[in-house]
Structure 1
Amino acid sequence: MVDDADAGGWSDVAAGWSELWADAARPAHAAIIAAAGIGPGARVLDVGCGGGELLLTARDAGAQVTGVDPARGMRELARSRGLDVRDADAAHLPFADGTFDVVTAVNALHFADDTTAALREFARVLAPGGRIAVANWAEGARNDVDVIERAVAEADESDPLPDGPLRPAGGLAAAFTEAGLRVVSSGVVEAPWTARDDETLVRGILLGEDAATLDFFRATIVEAAGPFRTADGYLLRNAFRWAVGKV
């Protein structure tokens, strides 16, 4: 079992994340489901499954699906959707060797303390011939949301978060190679995020923050998002990088 205190506060924002951000990852889900050949009868494990959005799509494709997530709130949300989700993180999967045909992780691998160890753990539970499919946000330069987050960091007199090694071109391939995996396909998929009004925009950017914090940064966020305003609210163009590998 994983202590929920170590789950990065995701329990507290599970409902908000599902409401405001879950749809943004759907293009990445579709890309890796297709690339990994997930279809009828495939045994799929989604690591860091959150509210279970990828699992639902894979189940609709006929797969047998299981998820793991260390955040209690995320597990409860996924289970409320009829999904089998266990309490575990990427480094300690509670399954026997060779249990799954595909292991997926979307915006999850970068939370592992050791990405190489995590990918090797994915490979351990993979059946012969199985595939590992990973997707995460591309580098900040490809994401409009990065413009707003940098404005918030400047207003807060703090440094913006760096991209991290998995996000730039070649990052996932390098991680797979380090773990002894062979990349068989990879790509980039556009992942737009929309907000219908200023309030939704601010809540999304400052997910989980209290009312005082939202009020403090509201003007900064709205100003920074000016270039992305549309007749229907806001449209932020972002991207995911994905890769599929085999042992």
Structure 2
Amino acid sequence: MTHAPDPADDHWSAVAQDWADLWGTFTDPARRALLAATGTGPGTRLLDVGCGTGELLALAASAGAAVSGADASPGMVDRARAAAPGADVRVAPAEALPWPDGSVDVVTFVNVLALTDDHEAALAEAVRVLRPGGLLAVCGWAERETNDLAVVHAALAADDGEPVDPDEPEDPWHEEAPVRGVLTDAGLTVEHVEVVEVPWAVRDVDAVVRGVLLGEDAAGVAERGPVVRAAAEPFRAPDGGYRFRVAARLLVARTPAR
């Protein structure tokens, strides 16, 4: 899915093409659920914060929406503009959106809000640019037991000498209640919650390694690739590809109708 990179260390521009190739359409089922839950259609003014390589923008535009996007990575913005020609896509962090007050109907954060430097500031900006009664959609990973890729990440952590404690509390961003809480604290009313299956299917183990180790240099891939290969083996399909069960949670909340 999409990210909110630090413009001072723009790792994401360097990996934008690989991101689009390996992960770009991965969360399309959740994106479609988001568009349905927000009623996005002809004339809807939608702003995707942390738009990455523009897959949500393209889907929303195909539904007739007037789309805008913000991402802190210039490389991601370039690809988003190519994916959604005519979209208003700008280089900007989530905490400082260059759009006027009350100028959009729907704001979306897809796997981005947890990665912002200041989620309270990012939500405040989202509320500012939304019209009264507008909708904010937040989509992110669900609990780790719904995510087969957690097995691979646990293997990498163990290889680094930092084994994952099975009793360790869940990341609060992966649970409904904490995310609902930050939305409520921002003055929003949650109206819709949905868990969507977004399986990651890749053609071979080399693609698994490239995807999991996205951004690693050649030495890092050579060192850590065997760990990924071994951990991915239980998820190999009969056709030689790999399929990982993953779920995303979508929450849609409304701003006050002033």
Q: Indicate the residue corresponding to 1:207 in structure 2.
A: 214
Cα distance in 1 for partners of 2:116, 2:182 equals 12
Deviation at 1:46, TM superposition (A): 0.3
Question: Which of the residues 193, 200, 216 maps onto 1:193?
Answer: 200
Cα distance in 1 for partners of 2:250, 2:235 equals 25
Deviation at 1:219, TM superposition (A): 2.0
Whether 2:176 is the aligned partner of 1:181: answer no
Question: Which of the residues 156, 159, 167 maps onto 1:155?
Answer: 159
Q: Indicate the residue corresponding to 1:46 in structure 2.
A: 48
Q: Render the CA deviation track for 1:14-52: whole Å, top value 9, x for unaligned.
A: 111100011211111011111011000000000000011
Give the alignment's Cα RMSD to 1 decimal: 1.8
Aligned residues: 245
Would the aligned equivalents of 1:36 and 1:244 in 2 still touch at CA under 8 Å? yes
Deviation at 1:3, TM superposition (A): 6.7
Q: Indicate the residue corresponding to 1:22 in structure 2.
A: 24
Deviation at 1:198, TM superposition (A): 1.4
Cα distance in 1 for partners of 2:80, 2:222 equals 31
Cα distance in 1 for partners of 2:45, 2:229 equals 44
Question: Which of the residues 105, 114, 135 maps onto 1:110?
Answer: 114
Percent identical residues: 47
Query: Structure 1 length normalisation: TM-score?
Result: 0.94
Cα distance in 1 for partners of 2:105, 2:179 equals 20
Please list every run of 5 or more consecutive structure 2 residues that lacks an aligned counterpart in the other structure: none
Query: Structure 2 length normalisation: TM-score?
Result: 0.90
Cα distance in 2 for partners of 1:241, 1:199 equals 28
Q: Indicate the residue corresponding to 1:165 in structure 2.
A: 172
Cα distance in 2 for partners of 1:148, 1:120 equals 35
Would the aligned equivalents of 1:166 and 1:175 in 2 still touch at CA under 8 Å? no
